[in-house]
Structure 1
Amino acid sequence: MDTIYQKLRDLDAYPKINEDFYKRTFSGGIITIVASLIMSLLFISEFRSYLHTIKETTLVVDTSRGGTLRINFDITFPAVPCTILSIDAEDISGEKHFDIRHDIIKKRIDVHGNEIEARKDSIGAPKIEKPLQKHGGRLEHNETYCGSCYGAETADDHCCNSCEEVREAYRKKGWALHNLDMIDQCVREGFFQKIHEEKGEGCNVNGFLEVNKVAGTFHFVPGKAFHISDFQPADLIAVQKDDYNISHKINKLAFGEYFPGVMNPLDGVQWLQDTTSGMYQYFVKVVPTVYTDKKGHNIESNQFSVTEHLRNLDAGHYQAVPGVFFFYDLSPVKVTFLEKGMSFLHFMTNVCAIVGGTFTVAGITDSFVFHGRKVVNKKLLKKLG
């Protein structure tokens, strides 16, 4: 046992010096304090670097096919009532959606921007005791309701059971339909009554759309669209007047999930209308983005850039209608963000380098100061002697 102890003691790379041979100096104490402060500052800086992550950005060709694109929005229209505000969407594949209501909440707001009411559906279809039949009579017991198309029927059994179906039947005939307040279905659905109740109000609409991952458009228009061609509503119910104040504020607009560092350029953007009527257009270029954190978790989302254009509407313009339109297209290039951080072994290596390096430099400095003072003192002694 004593032999092993002796062998281990012989391997000591740090031989100790008897304290009797130590000589502590004032300059050595100052250098020790300065060296300790330097080591502490360097350690804190290195520790912050260890906790901090860097993002490595690369560009690759987006080879993904199919899938859907989620559009999150929160937009306030201070001068458009919720009842007449319609959300429509269309893409280049031909898929069209009019007056979208699912996953969308509309909040009525007053002239001061205060919330009045939140609801998911803007117009209902309440039951009435005796709805009007297409032959002009009233529905009796055990009869199936078949609403009149008011002369636009294409067959004897053609029924129009809603205001929208009546308008669509007239559109297919190429006829103009006025005085919608005289249509029983429109009156039954309470469309004009709600418009009168919400006169002077605004609307906040928020929610999301799940659309095909292809170029398309979605828009907010004051009315009910029944036909869209080349992303332009060509037929719209005009309600009471021909022009609307489409001033709006985009509280939030995002294509996909949130990820660290994302900047959505339209968040908080506000536009106030100073013309009689107009179509405000946003042309959006969506860039697919993949964010990978330090733990290897992937977030598939999108960034986007945007340009804006106001299209003034001339009286009697056929295809252009007042509203806010978002035209989006997808970039063929995908951006990938990869989070990287310093490994713990790398951190420990740097800490050892800081401690050892500072200690060594301080020792050299102390030795230089100590021996320098000795040389100076010897010269002074010679002069005095």
Structure 2
Amino acid sequence: MAFRSPLRKFDFFQKTVEDARIKTASGGLITLISSGIVLFVILLEWIQYRKVVVVPEIVVNPSHGERMEINFNITVPKIPCQLLSVDVLDISGEFQQDVQHSVSKTRLSPDGEVISVDNLLLNNQENDDDPLNTTPEEETCGDCYGAVKYAPPETPGCCNTCNAVREAYGKANWGIGDVDAFKQCREEHFKENYESQKVEGCNLAGQLFVNRMAGNFHIAPGRSFQRGMQHLHDTQDFVKEKDMHDMSHTIHELSFGPPLDPSITTKNPLDNMVKKINSPDYRYEYFIKCVSHQFVFLKSDMETIDTNRYAVTQHERPIQGGPEEKLPSHINFKGGIPGIWFHIDIGPMRVIHRQIQGNTLGGFLTNVLSLLGGCVTLAAFIDRGLYEAKKLKKT
């Protein structure tokens, strides 16, 4: 008691006697309304406190020597799978020829129905019944007709199938010419099998893993090869049946890396793009500006997503047929090679989407206390005004 007595002089909250208090109906109504408002606003503050927001920021991309993943799904309805190849080139000089290890080709009928899927993943034995993809077992070592001598050292020295001969010729940068000139192709009736498929279309889908630098990947007819600094395609089969083929296509999907968080609902610019043309000598080009995007989750135990977004400029043009630089007409075209080309340029910046808490605990408590103080003061002011107004009215 002796300790409490000195503290009374500091009490700014003087107490009134219960009998001296006056309770009114208007005061009770104001109390209920203000209490409801306080509870509602506190609930809003709690939702804001618990909310996770995504804040973007831009930094210089620090990555060096990274690989980039390209996901694609493209349908070419007027060219059979056997004619199409997927190639990758970049400014460092790396050349991925006729990529097969991560690409599947789906044969389509003229009506767009699936005939079979040639899944070209390594060591995959599916679709062995396709006569164009058969690999009969042979104990003998088939002749590669001199191609192995000029091919890279890792090229197998035996060509027991028609496809093995064609592969060796491609790695030696030779045009395949007439397949009937090779014993393996004659025994497999390669040309006859191709004749039965030339009216088909093709869906190409899969992934490419490329250096993160400027370059291109393209889908074009004919087996590709390099001659000096030139990138060429042996389009003999394409040229022979030009009236049956064209470069019409549908891009179902084209993305660079895994998808971002679902909260970022940006559609890829080329998804579901449809192009139709009736000319075989036509080239579609897409100039893509690719920017690194990173999504950082609020929870530290969740893995950061590294991906890319892009903008695109489209260009399409006819190509004049005919020889160029003394090359046969089926090897090259004036103005380039018909096909679908994706030219990729890499932006120097990185956009980081970072998840953060909508509010801090300190901010939440500060807002709640400010709300309580303001609401109580305003309610008391209104109540006092109504009370004084009634007193004046009575007098």
TM-score, structure 1 normalization:
0.77
Report what 2:273 is aligned to.
269
Report what 1:302 is aligned to.
308
Aligned with residue 329 of structure 1, among 345, 348, 351: 345
Indicate whether 1:249 and 2:255 are aligned. Answer: no
Number of equivalences: 358
User: Aligned partner of 2:249: which letter?
Assistant: H
**1:40 to 1:202, Cα distance in 2 relative to 1, 3 A:** farther
Report what 1:93 is aligned to.
92
Q: Which runs of 5+ in 1 are unaligned?
A: 130-141, 379-385
Task: Give the conservation status (yes or no) of the 8 Å contact 1:85–1:220.
Answer: yes
User: Aligned partner of 2:210: which letter?
Assistant: V
Task: Give the conservation status (yes or no) of the 8 Å contact 2:222–2:233.
Answer: no
Report what 1:355 is aligned to.
372
Deviation sequence 1:91-120 (CA, Å, 0-9, x none)? 111111122111222233344544443331
User: Aligned partner of 1:48: which letter?
Assistant: I
Instruction: Report the Cα offset of residue 16 of structure 1.
Output: 6.7
Indicate whether 1:316 and 2:322 are aligned. Answer: yes
User: Aligned partner of 1:355: which letter?
Assistant: L
Task: Give the conservation status (yes or no) of the 8 Å contact 1:253–1:266.
Answer: yes
Task: Give the conservation status (yes or no) of the 8 Å contact 1:126–1:188.
Answer: no
Aligned with residue 146 of structure 1, among 143, 147, 163: 143
Instruction: Report the Cα offset of residue 166 of structure 1.
Output: 6.6
Task: Give the conservation status (yes or no) of the 8 Å contact 1:72–1:254.
Answer: yes
Q: Which stretch has the larger CA shift, 345-354 or 368-377?
A: 345-354
Instruction: Report the Cα offset of residue 314 of structure 1.
Output: 1.4
Report what 2:327 is aligned to.
none
Instruction: Report the Cα offset of residue 348 of structure 1.
Output: 2.8
Instruction: Report the Cα offset of residue 276 of structure 1.
Output: 4.1
SS in 1 for 2:242: coil
Separation (CA, whole Å) in 2 of partners of 1:228 and 1:26: 97
Separation (CA, whole Å) in 1 of partners of 2:229 and 2:22: 92
Instruction: Report the Cα offset of residue 367 of structure 1.
Output: 1.6
User: Aligned partner of 1:363: which letter?
Assistant: A
Separation (CA, whole Å) in 2 of partners of 1:355 and 1:107: 67
What RMSD in Å do the two structures reach over aligned CA positions?
A: 3.7
User: Aligned partner of 1:338: which letter?
Assistant: R
Report what 2:35 is aligned to.
36
**1:147 to 1:351, Cα distance in 2 relative to 1, 3 A:** same
Separation (CA, whole Å) in 2 of partners of 1:18 and 1:114: 90
User: Aligned partner of 1:127: which letter?
Assistant: P
**1:362 to 1:201, Cα distance in 2 relative to 1, 3 A:** farther
**1:190 to 1:40, Cα distance in 2 relative to 1, 3 A:** farther
Report what 1:214 is aligned to.
213
Instruction: Report the Cα offset of residue 69 of structure 1.
Output: 1.0
Indicate whether 1:69 and 2:68 are aligned. Answer: yes
TM-score, structure 2 normalization:
0.76
Instruction: Report the Cα offset of residue 312 of structure 1.
Output: 0.8
Task: Give the conservation status (yes or no) of the 8 Å contact 1:85–1:223.
Answer: yes
